Copies of this chain bind each other. A is one copy, B any other.
Amino acid sequence: MLAELRGLNEECGVFGIWGREDAPQISYYGLHALQHRGQEGAGIVVTNGKGLQVVKGEGLVNDVFANNKLDELQGHGAIGQVRYSSENGRGIENVQPLVFRSTTGSLSVAHNGNIVNATELREHLERQGSIFQTNSDTEVLAHLIKRSSGSFNLRDRAKKALAMLKGAFAFVILTEDGLMIAQDPNGLRPLSIGKLGDAWVVASETCAFDIIGAECVRSVEPGELIIINDQGLTSERFAPAADSAMCSMEYVYFARPDSDIDNINIHSARKRCGKQLAREMKIEADVVTGVPDSSISAAIGFSEESGIPYELGLIKSRYVGRTFIQPSQELREQGVKMKLSPVRQVVKGKRVVMVDDSIVRGTTSKRIVKMLKEAGATEVHVVIASPPLVSPCFYGVDISTDSELIATNRTNDEVRDLIEADSLTFLSPEGMLESIGRSDTMKNCGQCLACFTGEYPTEIYTDTVLPHEKETVR
């Protein structure tokens, strides 16, 4: 589905590497593979053992490193980030990795996630004299590490600091000596480590390993702190693993189909969800079509199980970028399309099953249903490969607040009528869990269902603000 049309976005993707002279180049290709996780900013920080060099900017990876900017970086260790930013987090100063310079050694941090007690920690730190240069949660961790009292070394200070954080986080930290990698105790955000020859790599998604020819070794464990340096990899715990709660939306929408999370392939999981949908609801129809790109796998699955032919009923333009001139409201009302067009001959006179991954505000679904009917579809049956979204996310997914979620406090029929579909089917929570199959493959390993159920795997602090409110503070 079209993320930008409905405010369902994640914070970012992170990457790291230690032990190769071409670390900056490898990071570039790694970030490139993660570009779908954030298109508004990108950066790479590199060390050659003496100091940190940084190149970052707003825009796509390609643009940030154009004009020979990549050549400015040299070193054997690097971290990088691609960034989606809410209104609140715009501006070059919020582009990561952040760099903290010190006479006793510099530090750079890249982060994916959301710290729910960030405001509380920040106020606490400010009362002690810390000052902040960004709006980002990421800066909190750096201050906590720096302030950690006692005669601890960096590793111990990092563990102590990480233990103070609540929420969802995947951190990749670069020093002049090595990498530190950490995941929150619930494992809410994906993070995997791999090997590229003798070098270690780390990435939000395994598709970054495939593009650079690296091999995935394993996921970072909930509550684990991994240190990688010239002596190799060591693993420690900064917290006991809590109940595992991987974000469901990674499987449903965010991750690339060629990535695996905890050894479960995304495309395959989505296809199984599509098949399960076909088992949960029998629909009389002529063609099945998916809303490109993220719903294609589920649509294929639905077709395979239901026996209804799979067709390309909707085409997405590949050329709508930053410089695309948006059609005026007037032109849009006259039918000028932006990103999606229907394939008239495929849907004309047909009963169409339109598979999508999720519904947020419903405006896009309504638009696509209308588009298909105007192209001649006699019926449009909307089939959603996940349960209804009813609760906000506090862990970094930019889902609108309850009041904007079409499914909150509405019956299935009410939503169906609002989007003007002939029928509307959501995947059952049980069906989703079983189709994704985390419980089958991994012991004690679950999924976060908070946006579907309102039950949050972590404490939600009194100072946790809703994402939407946060945005309008400014």
* Interface residues, chain A, with chain B CB atoms under 8 Å away: 22, 25-26, 28-29, 32-33, 35-36, 50-51, 54, 56-57, 60-63, 65-66, 70, 91-93, 98-104, 107, 119, 122-123, 126, 128-135, 142-143, 146-147, 207, 210-213, 256-258, 260, 265, 267-268, 271, 293, 296-297, 300, 304, 309-312, 315, 317-325, 327-328, 331, 334-337, 341-346, 473-474
Contacts and interface: CB of A to CB of B under 8 A. Distances in A.
Give the number of times this chain occurs in the complex, counting copies: 4
A22 B100 CA distance: 35
A325 B28 contact: yes
- Interface of chain A, helix or strand or loop or mixed? mixed
Given A131-B143, A213-B336, A304 B310 contact: yes
Contacts of A56: 92
A256 B323 contact: no
Contacts of A257: 312, 315, 343
Contacts of A317: 32-33, 35, 211
A87 to B, nearest CB: 12
Nearest to A34: B319
Contacts of A256: 315
Nearest to A208: B341
11 contacts: A29-B337, A32-B320, A54-B91, A61-B319, A102-B131, A104-B126, A129-B146, A258-B342, A258-B344, A265-B344, A297-B312
B143 A129 contact: yes
A104 B93 CA distance: 20
Contacts of A35: 317-319
Quick one: which of A25, A130, A133, A311 has the most chain B CB within 10 A? A133
